[in-house]
Homo-oligomer: A and B are copies of this chain.
């Protein structure tokens, strides 16, 4: 930026003020402020919480005492008293994955708008961790939770956790009785495949994640049905299931998918002329893998991804993909949770958000 304009503030003023103004904010309580202001703790509390029934003059006295002393409310005490932590737990399987990052951002923005902060937990692949996170709710460490992790949701199913205040995001089971937000994975996968069919492809590969997850099964079914409806018999050799969404996993999957292999009975099976990968991270890896074995995209093999994370438009060629409204998914999840917290009895609905096919150079 080179412009020396902007951030040049007079630093001394702040430093001086700090020295003069903050005698010992540590260990200062509402009682201390009350004494200094010559009022009761109740009045200080009222001012702190912006209650109406305080005479302006009194309020000013209190306010003066507060910023003369540098007092800050102790939220530990407030939280105990009000029996809420004002924290929302967000469980993600991997916050290195840009897909989750964007959703988390949506959650964060809504949460903050409502005076909540976000406790972010990476569940990783560790099953022990996963299980224990729901306990944070029972221990009152968080008021509610949003779960983005398929594995954790599987876990939750087996426990009596449906009574706990949480919502599922992206991976969900409508039958579970837990509020959720996501997209129609079946239709989305079908859309991807139909796009490839329209481009003239007949041998379409699928690089999917673990079919233990509902979303993976739904996308697989969408893929299978779209092919069948087009009069194509889907071969098993076209499909791969991975337990990772990393770039590398996509790259090596692509390579092995292109390897000539034995078909059932009738000799060699031709490798797919197109690959549908269920995440853009995988698809990005697929591009890399195909390049490494000299396949050109889209001339030799077309590629469709899923999610539309920001890298999708940057790779070469840019990825055709199914866009998920990531930000809105996060925001909606947060709203559903807040709604559930505000009214524990209300029937919070499951909601499906629209997806969209984004066509770029990879097909």
Contacts and interface: CB of A to CB of B under 8 A. Distances in A.
B80 A212 contact: no
Interface in A233-260: 241-243, 246-247, 251
Interface string A282-293: 001101100100
Given A19-B160, A287-B316, A6 B83 contact: no
A288 B135 CA distance: 46
Interface string A22-41: 10010000000000000000
Nearest to A84: B76
Given A2-B217, A160-B15, A247 B311 contact: yes
B141 A217 contact: no
A270 B83 CA distance: 67
Nearest to A135: B72
A65 B20 CA distance: 54
A229 interface: no
Interface stretch (A53-61, A95-103, A197-205, A350-358): A95-103
Nearest to A87: B119
A241 B101 contact: no
B119 A118 contact: yes
A108 to B, nearest CB: 6
A122 interface: yes
A337 B14 CA distance: 25
Contacts of A217: 1-3
A247 B318 CA distance: 13
A14 B159 contact: yes
A160 B18 contact: yes
B158 A11 contact: yes
Interface string A117-161: 111111000000100000110111100000000000010011110
Contacts of A214: 1
Contacts of A87: 119
Nearest to A239: B2
Contacts of A19: 160
A281 to B, nearest CB: 9
Given A18-B159, A314-B284, A104 B95 contact: yes
A74 B310 contact: no
Given A74-B80, A119-B120, 11 more contacts: A1-B218, A3-B211, A11-B157, A18-B159, A22-B160, A74-B139, A76-B84, A77-B80, A101-B101, A108-B122, A287-B314
Interface of A: 1-3, 6-7, 9, 11, 14-15, 17-19, 22, 25, 72-77, 79-80, 83-85, 87, 95-96, 98, 101-102, 104-105, 108, 112, 117-122, 129, 135-136, 138-141, 154, 157-160, 186, 210-212, 214, 217-218, 220-221, 241-243, 246-247, 251, 284-285, 287-288, 291, 310-311, 313-316
